[in-house]
Chain A
Amino acid sequence: MDGACLILELDHILRSDPLIDEVGLVPSVSADALPLEQAPQSADSASAYDPSAFWVGDHKLAVALVAARAMYSAALLTLKRARTAGPTSTGDAELLQATQVIVIVNPEHYTAWNTRKRVLLRSPAPEGAASVELQLSALALSVHPKSEATWSHRRWVLRNLLQIAKSPQCSVLEKESALAQRCAELRPMNYRAWSHRAWAAQWMPPGQLRAELQASRVWAEQHVTDNCGLHYRRRLILLVLQRSPGDEVTATSPGLLVEQERAWLTPLLDYYQGREALWLHRRFFAQINFAGAGAEPQATVKQPESDPKASTSPSQASDTGGTFKGFPVPFPLWSAEQTLVDEVDSGSVVASGIMASAAESCAREEAFVTEVVERLRSDTNLGL
């Protein structure tokens, strides 16, 4: 297979159907070897591409592995030639075609992405070029949903777009949320996707932020083990709290927001007692409360991760945590309570006026943990 020809064909395919949203690298694209839901409707018979290398249908593109290999080698050679011979030796179009193949096959190729950035910067029509970049990076993510280089390239393009835009770009940001969610579904615990989404949330106007908050709640209820999703929710809430008090989103006071979060978590924790991601989430809000979420939450909130005591091993737990002697308490449960105790003992709880509410909050957390443990114990006695 001739790599250089295939590169041109691929470019043609992507240009002729800008709605292609997924690429699959498959062992073979012949009709009987391609695993498809429905019988593949054969593409236009006079197709402009090699039917043994590509398959297009339903806005999805399959590339045979042999073809991908041939294209990748050819594209690497082109890029290398362009870099050794100087910037003007190779045309921009050719560079874009070559790097396009490279990033679909290997999205962690920083040089390819950066070459594309340079070309974009000297492009006469930056807006059109930017949308091409967004499509391409979405394609690369459909093959490799955790690729950091791709997410970062996407942010670079978006930042340029959003900075020149005069009004809030709700639809652009909505697409980012949808893409991040899709990637989080493709690969669980997809930290890259969630932090990209959190980055995009910064640009959102208040109304959209509120919708985002609601959506993340639904997602979190269905994915209680995915700490990345819950972490995203914490970042969203901090974002809401940071906005000025007169802001539409914070029409509900910060205290109420934290209270709502706690009320939402209680039944979840009750049902999924051993899920640490949920306990981390609850601990975070207990600590926000201690610090008095009013004035400057971001400055006073103590990150759960930074607390070395929170990582005490479970074996030590049974030695020192006298409360639950002889009973195998799930570790997350224990550590949630221990942190609370530490907070009060060490006096790290913010002093003076807030102290009363902190102690109150602490007592409430303790009561809750005791209640959960009690129920767990009675369930065990029943043999469940």
Chain B
Amino acid sequence: MKITALTILKFNGDTADPTLLANASDVSNFGYFQRSSVREMIIFVSRTVGKRTPLQRRQSVEHEEYMVHCYNKNGLLGLAFVDRAYPLRGAFSVINKILEEYERQAVGSWSSITTDNKDSVPWLQEALVKYQDPSEADKLTKIQRDLDETKIILHKTIDSVLARGEKLDSLVEKSTDLSMASQVFYKQAKKANSCCVIL
């Protein structure tokens, strides 16, 4: 089991891109020259999936060898990038936990934030380390049975999250989250149909 990244975004409706509020990622198991691309890709995928998660919805998207879990809690989006072995319930409890923590720290002020925060967030980084063990997160679920009240929507590919006529490739090209280098990497990986490496 592995959590690669946790991100928190502000939902700006399904037409505008969400605002990045906090993110933490662990890319140590990628090659040195892929790490920054992977980080950028995580932000990009977070925005793409987050934008398409309606209020109070939970959805999970399979993307390459990852599962991207997303929860929109009253306009605050929490996302977890985990591998397939990570239990679904555990992942959503982690998201619940980090959203609660964020709300506690921000005390409602997040709704007025309009600019991206790309700085590292120590408590989120700590949470990333702590919840690598899903049973740590699941301790919470034993109490929070409400988790499964709303149904979790599962998507086999990221394309099924996108609106009709939208293509991931064109989103990649338009994205401001991805540097030229990352875009080249994305295309290369896609061309080689590589089993891995880049999100």
Footprint of B on A, CB under 8 Å?
22, 24, 26-28, 32-37, 58, 60, 62, 142, 185-188, 221-225, 271-272, 275, 382-384
Q: Are B33 and A24 in contact (CB under 8 A)?
A: yes
A225-B85 contact, Cβ under 8 Å, with A35-B37, A36-B33, A37-B36: yes
How many inter-chain residue pairs (CB < 8 Å) link A and B? 70
Q: In this assembly, does B63 line the interface, its C-beta being within 8 Å of a C-beta of chain A?
A: no
Q: Give the distance in Å from the alpha carbon of A185 to the alpha carbon of B87 in the complex.
A: 20
Contact B29 A26 (CB under 8 A): no
Are the CB atoms of B184 and A33 closer together than 8 Å?
yes
Question: Are the C-beta atoms of A222 and B133 separated by less than 8 Å?
Answer: yes
Q: Which residues of B contact A62 (CB under 8 A)?
A: 33
Given A222-B1, A224-B1, A186 contacting B180 (CB threshold 8 A): no
> Nearest-CB distance from B74 to chain A (Å)?
24
Q: Which A residues are in CB contact (< 8 Å) with B182?
A: 35
Taking the complex as formed, is B166 at the interface, i.e. its CB lies under 8 A from any CB of chain A?
Answer: no
Q: Is the CB of A142 within 8 A of B31?
A: yes
Most buried by A among B33, B138, B182: B33
Contact B85 A224 (CB under 8 A): yes
Q: Which residue of A lies closest to B187 (CB)?
A: A27
Q: Is the CB of B1 within 8 A of A223?
A: yes
A275 to chain B, nearest CB (A): 7
A186 touches B184 (CB 8 A): no
Known: A33-B180, A222-B1, A225-B85. A186 touches B29 (CB 8 A): yes
CB of A271 within 8 A of CB of B36, answer no
Q: Cα distance A327–B138 when bound, in Å?
A: 25
Contact B85 A275 (CB under 8 A): yes
Q: Which residue of A has the minimal Cβ distance to B36?
A: A35
A32 and B181 form a contact (CB under 8 A)? yes
What are the residues of chain B within 8 A of A32 when measuring CB–CB? 180-181
CB-nearest residue of chain B to A277: B85
Is A36 a contact of B184 with CB atoms below 8 Å?
Answer: no
Q: Please report the total number of B residues contacting A with Cβ < 8 Å.
A: 35
Q: Which residues of A contact B133 (CB under 8 A)?
A: 221-222
**Closest 7 pairs (CB-CB, A-B):** A24-B33, A35-B181, A185-B29, A225-B85, A35-B36, A35-B37, A60-B32
Chain B residues within 8 Å of A272, by CB: 85, 87
- For residue A270, give the distance in angstroms from its CB to the closest CB of chain B: 10
**B84 to chain A: which residues have CB within 8 Å?**
225
Return 7 A-B CB contacts under 8 Å, by A number: A24-B33, A27-B188, A32-B181, A34-B33, A35-B179, A60-B33, A185-B28
Closest to A226 in B: B85
Nearest B residue to A142 via CB reads: B31
Docked Cα-Cα span, A142 to B197, in Å, equals 13
CA distance A384 to B162 in the complex (A): 28
The answer to the question of B44 belonging to the interface, with a C-beta cut-off of 8 Å to chain A, is: no
Q: Which listed residue, B29, B31, B87, B180, touches A24 by the CB 8 Å rule?
A: B31
- The reply to whether B132 and A222 form a contact with Cβ atoms under 8 Å apart is yes
Would A36 and B36 count as touching, CB distance under 8 A? yes
Which chain B positions have C-beta within 8 A of A33?
Answer: 180-181, 184
- The verdict on B34 contacting chain A, using a C-beta distance below 8 Å, is yes
In the bound complex, residues from chain A placing their C-beta under 8 Å from that of B173 are none
A270 closest partner in B (C-beta): B135
Chain B residues with CB under 8 A of A275 = 85
**B2: Cβ under 8 A from any A Cβ:** yes
Interface residues of B in 64-93 (CB under 8 A from A): 65, 83-85, 87, 89
Of the residues A26, A28, A221, A384, contact of B89 by C-beta under 8 Å: A384
Whether, in the assembled complex, B35 has its beta carbon less than 8 Å from a beta carbon of chain A, the answer is yes
B175 CB → nearest A CB, Å: 14
Q: Which residue of chain A is the closest to B90 with respect to CB atoms?
A: A271
Report the nearest B residue to A37, measured CB to CB.
B36
A137 to B149, CA, bound (A): 53
B residues near A222, Cβ cutoff 8 Å: 1-2, 132-133
Most buried by A among B34, B181, B188: B181
Cβ of A60: which chain B residues have Cβ within 8 Å of it?
32-33
**Contact call A24/B32, Cβ cutoff below 8 A:** yes
Docked-complex contact A34 and B181, CB < 8 angstroms: yes
* Chain B minimum-CB-distance residue to A34: B181
Report A-chain residues with C-beta under 8 Å of the C-beta of B2: 222
* CA of A377 to CA of B46, assembled, Å: 35
| Minimum Cβ distance to chain A for residue B60 (Å) | 16
B168 close to chain A: CB less than 8 A:
no
Q: How far is the CB of A171 from chain B (nearest CB, A)?
A: 23
Cα-based distance from A33 to B33 in the complex (angstroms): 11
Report chain B residues within 8 Å CB of A27.
184-185, 188
Residue numbers in A under 8 Å from B89 (CB-CB) = 384
Q: In angstroms, how far is the closest chain A Cβ from the Cβ of B55? A: 23
Which chain B residue lies CB-closest to A382? B145
The yes or no answer to B101 lying at the interface (CB within 8 A) is: no
10 other contacts beyond A37-B39, A188-B83, A222-B133, with CB at 8 A cut-off?
Answer: A22-B31, A24-B31, A24-B33, A26-B33, A34-B33, A35-B33, A35-B35, A35-B182, A62-B33, A222-B1
Tell me the complex Cα distance, A36–B188, Å: 17
